[in-house]
């Protein structure tokens, strides 16, 4: 017997401090007693955005004013399938938490830091939503330091990184694979110090050689090459995030199966670094993202003007070197 798919809207509601609103499910319903993102079923003939506004009014007594698509997730439970249509709400009218810390329907409601979401227990379908709620829309990638880089080039590179971080970005991928091990460790340590100062999550671009040497605690993330992704059989442990470079839906499926936190998908548009590479184009990119249940960043030929289009097509945002580049 084919399981019925239930279309559900969910809201990642954010306040001005970057906190996210979560609610606890009643104990007598499916996945009862777990935390969730507010929302509910889409009614017959109702658009997802309409359902979002209605559900938030009913559950929390607030009216959503500014909201956009965040991620879409399909998930199969033993007894049902759900299609989660997730929206990010950044402006609303009303007070979602009433007397006794309860919502409009008497459910426990709390504001929590996005970095603390993984300490709460959510339904399995919410894994990708938690990650999407924790990730920004800009993924900055550094130019790759070459193995011939001397002290002067490294000092210039570090000034460049500091200038980029001054712009307020929250997620930085460091590429140092061309350096020898000693240089690599030195640069990683120096960039990590800068990231700590600015409150930025550092992702280290690496193949399995760095992976096998171990991470640097939960504050550092790992961004795997496509080749490394293909060689993996389980998610590496001990990292803030684990991501991978993907170029097809099959590679994204591998990342999902391993439980990775997010991916980049490329090349969306023509790039100067790989001018002969076959591009996906926005249409194919959109189709692939719609079939993914993991946050996806658009990569390849991106400019800052591309970000809204990428988000409208279902992406988490954009990843780029050139879009964020500055004069060193």
pLDDT score at 264: 99
pLDDT digits (tens, 9 = 90+) for 80-108: 888 999 999 999 999 999 988 999 999 99
Task: Output the CATH code of domain 5-134.
Answer: 3.90.79.10
What does the pLDDT average to over 105-117? 95
Do 288 and 107 form a contact (C-beta atoms < 8 A)? no
Q: What percent of the chain has pLDDT over 90?
A: 73
Pair 151, 181: CB distance under 8 Å: no
| Predicted confidence band of residue 183 (pLDDT cuts 50, 70, 90) | confident
Cis peptide leading into residue 267 (ω within 30°): yes
* Residue 161 scores a pLDDT above 90: yes
Q: 138-324: CATH homologous superfamily?
A: Aldolase class I (3.20.20.70)
What pLDDT is attached to residue 181? Answer: 80
> What percentage of the chain reaches a pLDDT higher than 70?
94
Which carries the bigger pLDDT value, residue 327 or residue 189?
A: 189
Mind listing the pLDDT tens digit for each residue in 282-292?
999 999 999 89
The full DSSP string for 289-328 is HHT-SS-EEEESS--GGGHHHHHHTT-SEEEESGGG----
Q: Give the pLDDT band of residue 31 (cuts 50, 70, 90).
A: confident
Mean pLDDT throughout 128-145? 95
Per-residue pLDDT for 150 more than 90?
A: no
Q: For residue 180, what pLDDT is reported?
A: 81
Per-residue pLDDT, 54: 98
Residue 327 is predicted with a pLDDT of 44
Category of 228 on φ-ψ map: left (φ > 0), alpha (ψ -120 to 50) or beta? alpha
112 confidence band (pLDDT: 50, 70, 90)? very high
**Residue 302 scores a pLDDT above 60:** yes
Beta-bridge partners for 8: 41, 84
**Exposed/middle/buried for residue 40 (C-beta within 10 Å: 0-12, 13-18, 19+):** middle
Q: Looking at the chain, which residues constitute the CATH 3.90.79.10 domain(s)?
A: 5-134
What DSSP string describes 167-234?
Answer: TT--EEEEE-TTS-HHHHHHHHHHHHHHHHHHT-EEEEEE-HHHHHT---STTEEEEE-HHHHHH-SS
Q: What is the pLDDT of residue 147?
A: 62
Of the pLDDT bands very low, low, confident and very high (cuts 50, 70, 90), residue 175 is very high
Q: Where are the CATH 3.20.20.70 domain residues in the chain?
A: 138-324
Which pair of structure tokens corresponds to residue 264? 């980049």
Rounded to two decimals, what is the model's pTM?
A: 0.91
What's the pLDDT score for residue 314?
94
- Judge whether 100 and 81 are in contact, CB under 8 Å: no
pLDDT, mean over the chain: 91
Give the pLDDT confidence of 34-79 residue by residue, as tens digits. 999 999 999 999 999 999 999 999 999 999 999 999 999 998 888 7
pLDDT one-digit tens code per residue, 210-269: 555 555 667 899 999 999 999 999 999 889 999 999 999 999 999 999 999 999 999 999
Residue 328 scores a pLDDT above 60? no
């Amino acid at each position: 017997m084919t399981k019925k798919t239930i279309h559900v809207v969910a809201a990642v509601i954010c306040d001005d401090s970057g906190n996210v609103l979560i609610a606890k499910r009643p104990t007598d319903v499916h996945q009862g007693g777990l935390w969730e993102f507010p929302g509910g079923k889409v009614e017959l003939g109702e658009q997802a955005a309409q359902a979002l506004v209605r559900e938030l009014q009913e559950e929390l007594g607030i009216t959503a004013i500014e909201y956009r698509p965040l991620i879409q997730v399909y998930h199969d439970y033993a007894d049902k399938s759900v299609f989660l249509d997730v929206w990010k709400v950044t402006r609303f009218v009303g007070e979602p938490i009433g007397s006794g810390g309860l919502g409009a329907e008497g459910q426990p409601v709390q504001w929590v830091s996005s970095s603390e979401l993984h300490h709460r227990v959510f339904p399995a379908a919410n894994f990708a939503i938690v990650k999407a709620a924790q990730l920004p829309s800009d993924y900055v990638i550094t130019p790759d330091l070459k193995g011939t880089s001397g002290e002067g080039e490294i000092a210039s590179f570090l000034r460049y990184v500091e200038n980029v971080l001054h712009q307020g970005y929250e997620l930085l991928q460091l590429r140092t694979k061309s350096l020898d091990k000693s240089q690599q460790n030195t640069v990683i340590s120096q960039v990590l110090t800068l990231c700590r100062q600015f409150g930025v999550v550092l992702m280290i671009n690496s193949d399995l050689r760095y992976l096998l040497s171990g991470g640097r605690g939960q504050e550092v993330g790992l961004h795997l090459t496509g080749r490394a992704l293909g060689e993996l059989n389980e998610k590496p442990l001990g990292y803030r995030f684990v991501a991978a470079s993907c170029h097809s839906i099959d590679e994204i499926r591998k990342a999902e199966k391993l439980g990775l936190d997010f991916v980049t998908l490329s090349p969306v548009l023509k790039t100067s670094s790989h001018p002969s590479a076959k591009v996906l184009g926005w249409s194919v990119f959109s189709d692939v993202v719609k079939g993914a249940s993991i946050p996806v960043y658009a990569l390849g030929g991106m400019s800052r003007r591309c970000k809204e289009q990428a988000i409208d097509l279902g992406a988490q945002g954009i990843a780029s070197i050139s879009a964020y580049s500055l004069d060193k």
